Amino acid sequence: MSLRAKRLISTLWPRDDASPRRVVLLYHAVGSGPLATDAAAFQQQMAWIAAHAQPLSLDDLVSGKGTHPLQVAVTFDDGYESVFSRAAPVMRRHAVPGAVYVNTGWVEEDGRRRASDAAQGHYRDEAFMIWNEVIALAAQGWMIGSHGVEHLDLTTMPITRVHQELQQSRAAIEQRTGKGCAHFAYTWGRYDSRVVQALRASGYRYATSTMHAPLSSRDDPYLIPRIDIRPQYGIDDFAAIMQGRWDFLRWIQQGRRTIRLLRGAKAAA
Ligand SMILES: [Zn+2]
């Protein structure tokens, strides 16, 4: 859906009056990459959160520890280098806790020999964090979650590979950070009951999706919704999103998912 259409519908859609409103935001990269959020825009958004909302760690948000009418947790997918070098310093200044889901197969010891690969679903022209940076974020209180070993659509993988991806990535994160890894973010945003079952069996307690919605007490802990903050959104868009004026996107996403499932069922029949 075009940015113009989103903006138009948002002027008609009511703000979300639920209190508290709890939202998890999704970012990828900050800086000069072709798909990255501009550093000044990111700074403005974190300042907005500090001024108008209560920033919380994902665990505190999910377990209901917040006290403010608007509660926010900030997360990143894929583990790009700019999370460490650009996002984390800004967030520290505004006292915004962070979470990052890494692909352990792309975290190198040093050197950054591998750039991101768009064919794998990465953001274009980004570098990844190295282990020392991941460990430093964990020491600063960041939650380090898993996004798999490789950036795979797990719904298309044999079950033995799914288990391997979930277990190996979790073990690597726990061994490096010395902290438990209970969080997973669905790669490509794709999940099905088989992947959720494998998550449970592998010791994960939470998983985040890319459904544009606030948290509800009825949410399945393995389907925590997350609001994708795209680089082209301005600060007015950001404020409107935080107030729930873009929550109509959820119904569009759910409609698309239903159509995809029906097509799959038809193809299988
Ligand atoms: Zn990803």
Percentage of residues in the chain having pLDDT higher than 70: 100
Distance 121 CA to ligand 1 centre (A): 7
Contact between residue 99 and residue 83 where contact means Cβ atoms under 8 Å apart: no
What are the tens digits of pLDDT across the range 91-104?
Answer: 999 999 999 999 99
What average pLDDT does the structure give for the chain?
94
Q: How far apart are CA 168 and CA 58, in angstroms?
A: 23
On the question of pLDDT at 75 being above 90, the answer is yes
Judged by DSSP in three states, 156 sits in helix
What confidence score (pLDDT) does residue 241 get? 97
What are the tens digits of pLDDT across the range 186-212?
Answer: 999 999 999 999 999 999 999 999 999
Closest CA to 248 of 10, 2, 3: 10
On the question of pLDDT at 47 being above 90, the answer is yes
Distance 14 CA to ligand 1 centre (A): 31
Distance 253 CA to ligand 1 centre (A): 18
What confidence score (pLDDT) does residue 1 get? 86
Distance 79 CA to ligand 1 centre (A): 9
On the question of pLDDT at 214 being above 80, the answer is yes
What are the tens digits of pLDDT across the range 140-190?
Answer: 999 999 999 999 999 999 999 999 999 999 999 999 999 999 999 999 999
Distance 50 CA to ligand 1 centre (A): 26
DSSP 204: -
Distance 77 CA to ligand 1 centre (A): 5
On the question of pLDDT at 269 being above 90, the answer is no
Q: How far apart are CA 267 and CA 263, in angstroms?
A: 6
Distance 189 CA to ligand 1 centre (A): 8
